[in-house]
Amino acid sequence: MVNNELPPINFRWELIWENRGILAKGLSVAISVSITALMLSLVLGLLLALTRMSRFKLISGVSSVYVNIFRGIPALVSVIWVYFGWSLLFGHNFSVFQSGVIALTLLYSAFFSEIFRSALQAIPTGQREAGLALGMSRLKIFRSIIMPQATKIALPNIGSMYIGMVKDTSTFAVIGLAEVVRVVQDLNSINFQPFVLFTAAALLYVFVAFIVDQIFRSIEKNFSYPPTGKVAKFLTKGKKTRIDKLMA
Amino acid sequence: MEKRFSLIVSDTSTSQTLMELSGVRKTFGTVEVLHGIDLTIHKGNHVVIFGPSGSGKSTLLRSMNLLAEPNSGSVKFLGVEYGPGVDGQRKVRRGKSIALRQQVGMVFQQFNLFPHLSALDNIALPLRSAKGLSIKDAEERAALELKNVGLLNWAASYPGQLSGGQQQRVAIARALSLDPKIMLFDEPTSALDPELVGEVLSVMRKLAETGMTMVVVTHEMNFAKEVGDVNVFMEAGNIVEIGGRDFWTKSLSERTQQFIGSVL
């Protein structure tokens, strides 16, 4: 006779607290990989946006092809290419950390390129014309007039993209990077509590998303006109006293 | 009124030639919007350009600082050739457009203040990057220019916190801070609420009285009558008629008279 009865459900939620140290370690790995990749993707993304807006068809074509390919590739495929593919093709191994960073950068620079491109195109042409009419160089116009305004427009989108980057680090469990999901898989193989442990992972990602959102909101305040953020106020303190003196 | 006229009239016959346009043509796509314009501006002139919309007034003004680079024709400023040149003529010396723009001030219809900078920094930024002034010198100069347009108390305000009239006055102060030899105004009051037009015109009137060379594209006919000593009527990419102070009463062309009649 076959016993069709399920065993009694026994959720061991205390496992989360008991393993808080190792879970936190996993989270810190996820954050280090994604922040490093964020910095690199921002630089590469801006370069791609600028080259894509180039009037030279070859240059804009190359970055257009790059963007259209890489924004369509899943993080799992990207990291397998970088970690296994690269070493098979060239005999050189990236560490799991490096592979994670490169995989994320390849994908997200494509997204950031689109974010920057639309932000740059949203600046009215009159801004550039005013700079030119005032005898400013093109580089100076870009740096001091266009870029600060484009950054303000791009910031909210960069924030939500970064939340996506953190979540995509979960796929790097496949190459053995000790991020949140990998840690949870290891704990599960000992404790057989998938529901509890993967819920713990989910809670960690939600927590990070919340914090990232808060951080970006406070960064955005420093880019409002006039800036209301604490950092901007601190940085422009000297300017404010100078203006007060000039107005007196 | 008569007295003010005599104050801001300029003597065209003896003064120095500042800008000389000859054969300026400009094409957008397949449409030619300027059909070979010739215009000479002397030092101290107050040139008013008017005409129906689409006649090429703004494009002509923008060709004077190469924001609209002519397809052909000569833009000569203080003896230096900046435009592409008239076909078949050899160019003596061709200046860089940035050098021209550093001597030519421009005020736009939409003000084009930098929204991310305070009124003071809107003026100080170009002073620093185009003139190479130190922060301190640039800010002091900016404060002086704001004072001249009556906005020193608004130095710390951002463009979004200013009225349209105040923004345009900051824009004028910004252009003047670079010590231009000529000021171009592209419909400076067209984007303003009617009650804010007066404050901008009075700044421009004061500027005219200082002897600044000005080229103004405007629909403000009363201002044009008061300040303009070279009046240019344009239509369909051509200059129909150029006249002096008596232009409004003595213009010859029937088309000009018809236009003046319709706007006054």
The shortest CB-CB distance from B101 to any of A133, A223, A242 is to A133
Is A126 within 8 Å of B110 when comparing Cβ atoms? Answer: yes
Report yes or no on A141 lying in a domain. Answer: yes
Interface predicted TM-score (ipTM) of this complex, two decimals? 0.89
Q: Are B158 and B79 in contact (CB under 8 A)?
A: no
Q: What whole-number distance in Å separates Cα of residue B79 and Cα of residue A194?
A: 83
Report yes or no on A158 lying in a domain. Answer: yes
Among chain A residues, CA nearest to B156: A243
Is B129 within 8 Å of A149 when comparing Cβ atoms? Answer: no
pLDDT for the residue B124: 95
Is B178 within 8 Å of A136 when comparing Cβ atoms? Answer: no
Report yes or no on A2 lying in a domain. Answer: no
pLDDT for the residue A240: 81
Report yes or no on A4 lying in a domain. Answer: no
Our CA-based measurement puts residue A241 at a distance from the nearest CA of chain B, in whole angstroms, of 10
- Residue B173 contacts A, CB cutoff 8 Å: no
Looking only at Cα atoms, what is the longest distance across chain A? 96
Query: Which CATH number does the domain housing residue A131 bear?
Result: 1.10.3720.10
Please report where in the chains the tokens 């894509």 appear, as a residue.
Answer: A52
- Residue A137 contacts B, CB cutoff 8 Å: yes
Is A130 within 8 Å of B108 when comparing Cβ atoms? Answer: yes
| Residues in chain B within 8 Å Cβ distance of A145 | 114, 125
Report yes or no on A211 lying in a domain. Answer: yes
Is B155 within 8 Å of A243 when comparing Cβ atoms? Answer: yes
Mean pLDDT confidence for A84-102: 92
pLDDT for the residue B93: 58
pLDDT for the residue A77: 95
pLDDT for the residue B5: 41
| Residues in chain B within 8 Å Cβ distance of A136 | 125-126, 129-130
| Residues in chain A within 8 Å Cβ distance of B182 | none
Report yes or no on A204 lying in a domain. Answer: yes
Nearest to A147 by CA among A221, A217, A46: A46
pLDDT for the residue B88: 58
Domain extent, residue A218, equals 14-247
Residue A211 reports pLDDT greater than 90: yes
Q: pLDDT-derived band of residue A91, with 50, 70 and 90 as boundaries?
A: confident
Mean pLDDT confidence for B230-239: 90
Q: What whole-number distance in Å separates Cα of residue B12 and Cα of residue B216?
A: 17
pLDDT for the residue A3: 67
Residue B160 reports pLDDT greater than 80: yes
Our CA-based measurement puts residue A144 at a distance from the nearest CA of chain B, in whole angstroms, of 8
Nearest to B8 by CA among B232, B214, B168: B214
Is A137 within 8 Å of B129 when comparing Cβ atoms? Answer: yes
Model confidence, pTM: 0.87
Q: How many domains does chain A have?
A: 1
Q: Are B171 and B203 in contact (CB under 8 A)?
A: no
Alpha helices in chain A (DSSP H): 14-18, 20-52, 57-70, 75-80, 86-90, 96-121, 125-133, 138-141, 147-168, 180-191, 194-221, 230-235, 237-247
Residue A165 reports pLDDT greater than 70: yes
Q: pLDDT-derived band of residue A206, with 50, 70 and 90 as boundaries?
A: very high
Residue A20 reports pLDDT greater than 50: yes
The shortest CB-CB distance from B101 to any of A127, A132, A145 is to A132
Report yes or no on A1 lying in a domain. Answer: no
Among chain B residues, CA nearest to A240: B156
Residue B201 reports pLDDT greater than 90: yes
Is B156 within 8 Å of A243 when comparing Cβ atoms? Answer: yes
pLDDT for the residue A248: 76
Our CA-based measurement puts residue B159 at a distance from the nearest CA of chain A, in whole angstroms, of 9
Q: pLDDT-derived band of residue B4, with 50, 70 and 90 as boundaries?
A: very low
Report yes or no on A3 lying in a domain. Answer: no
